[in-house]
């Protein structure tokens, strides 16, 4: 994971910034970053619902340094005060890049016209970016993920949706009755709807094809779990950080009448996932 480079760069050297929330770091956000040039930076106004790319993980998706400001701390500033703050923070700022719908200042009263009036430098406004006729926004991607429509979410993100988790103890049933799995505790990230997914799991920078179950274990103890089975490899070590990249949904979560029936279904899931990855480029 890339660490934030913002601490290594003097704000005085920054001449261009992109302004907004940037939870998605999706294709439209990437289009804004293309206008930043050599001495650019991303200014992320943080709200509490950033759960696609939580703050700690955002730097991975851009080589530009990211500076964070809490919405809570600036939401009562007038438009003029906000622009003054930005100018103070970045004294050599020449260019601001925003999207067509960027608004700022108390009650989001100020938008593009006011930005052009208040900031005396260059203002680049990017028209609404769409893909397959669908406007790309973090909220749209969140809805696709919640629906389990990973393919659409990924196509708007421009990459596979990825979550980070830490390993936790499971019921201890996996290896004995079903298949070995790594059980995960996930915080901060929005999770796809319950079901079985074709995934890749990254452990210690190694990437493995995997199948991931996410949901209430209605067949066994009923508790909620995120567990991943690495295809064709038994991994027994403990890890501090595990990454899961989602590719497609295989099926819904289901209650089975017996452990044997669930075991058979898991074999089918594994074969379907293998087939998915053998076809994927």
Distance CA(262)–CA(182), nearest Å, equals 18
- Residue closest to ligand FMN (Cβ): 170
Per CB under 6 A, contacts with ligand ATP among 5-64 are 19-24, 28-29, 32
28 binds, among ligand ATP, ligand FMN, none (CB under 5 to 8 A by kind): ligand ATP
| Count of residues interacting with ligand ATP (CB under 6 A) | 22
Could you give the angle at the alpha carbon of 160 between the alpha carbons of 158 and 164, nearest 5°?
130
102 binds, among ligand FMN, ligand ATP, none (CB under 5 to 8 A by kind): ligand ATP
Of residues 99 and 174, the one with the C-beta less far from ligand ATP = 99
φ and ψ at 3, to 5 degrees? -85, 155
Q: How far apart are the first and last CA of the chain?
A: 24
Q: Which of 78, 140, 219, 276 binds ligand FMN (CB under 6 A)?
A: 219
**Least distance from ligand FMN to the Cβ atom of residue 261, Å:** 10
Distance CA(123)–CA(130), nearest Å, equals 21
Q: How many CB atoms lie within 10 A of CB 68?
A: 15
The verdict on 128 binding ligand ATP (CB under 6 A) reads yes
Q: Which of 25, 96, 136, 231 binds ligand ATP (CB under 6 A)?
A: 136
Query: DSSP labels for 15-60?
Result: -EEEEE--SS--HHHHHHHTTS-TTEEEEEEE-TT--SS-GGGGGG
The conformation of residue 105, written as its DSSP 8-state character, comes to: S
139 binds, among ligand FMN, ligand ATP, none (CB under 5 to 8 A by kind): ligand ATP
Of residues 35 and 254, the one with the C-beta less far from ligand ATP = 35
Of residues 139 and 264, the one with the C-beta less far from ligand FMN = 264
Tokens, residue 10 = 């003097």
- Over the window 196 to 215, marking each residue x when it contacts ligand FMN by CB under 6 A and - when it does not, the resulting string is x--------------x-x--
Distance CA(244)–CA(162), nearest Å, equals 5
The conformation of residue 238, written as its DSSP 8-state character, comes to: -
List contacts with ligand FMN (CB under 6 A). 170-174, 178-179, 181, 183, 196, 211, 213, 217-220, 227, 229, 253-254, 262, 266, 269
């Amino acid at each position: 994971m890339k660490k934030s480079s913002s601490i290594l760069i003097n704000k005085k050297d920054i001449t261009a910034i992109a302004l907004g929330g940037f939870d998605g770091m999706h294709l439209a956000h990437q289009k804004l970053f293309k206008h930043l040039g050599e001495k650019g930076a991303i200014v992320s106004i943080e709200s509490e619902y950033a759960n696609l790319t939580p703050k700690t993980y955002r730097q991975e998706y851009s080589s530009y340094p990211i500076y964070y400001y809490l919405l809570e701390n600036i939401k009562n500033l007038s438009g003029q005060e906000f622009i003054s703050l930005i100018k103070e923070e970045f004294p050599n700022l020449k260019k601001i890049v925003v999207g067509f719908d960027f608004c700022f200042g108390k009650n989001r009263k100020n938008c593009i016209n006011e930005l052009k009036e208040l900031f005396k430098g260059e203002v680049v406004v990017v028209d609404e970016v769409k893909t397959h006729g669908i406007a790309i926004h973090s909220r749209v991607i969140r809805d696709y993920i919640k629906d389990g429509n990973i393919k659409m979410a990924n196509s708007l993100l421009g990459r596979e949706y990825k979550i980070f988790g830490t390993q936790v103890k499971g019921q201890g049933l996996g290896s004995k009755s079903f298949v070995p799995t790594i059980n995960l505790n996930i915080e901060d990230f929005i999770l796809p709807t319950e079901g079985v997914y074709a995934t890749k799991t990254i452990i210690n920078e190694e990437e493995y094809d995997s199948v991931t179950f996410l949901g209430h274990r209605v067949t066994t103890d009923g508790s909620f779990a995120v567990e991943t089975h690495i295809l064709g490899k038994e991994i027994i070590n403990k890890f501090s950080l595990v990454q899961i990249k989602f590719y497609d949904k295989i099926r819904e979560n289901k209650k089975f009448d017996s452990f044997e029936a669930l075991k058979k279904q898991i074999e089918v899931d594994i074969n379907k996932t293998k087939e998915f990855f053998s076809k994927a480029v």
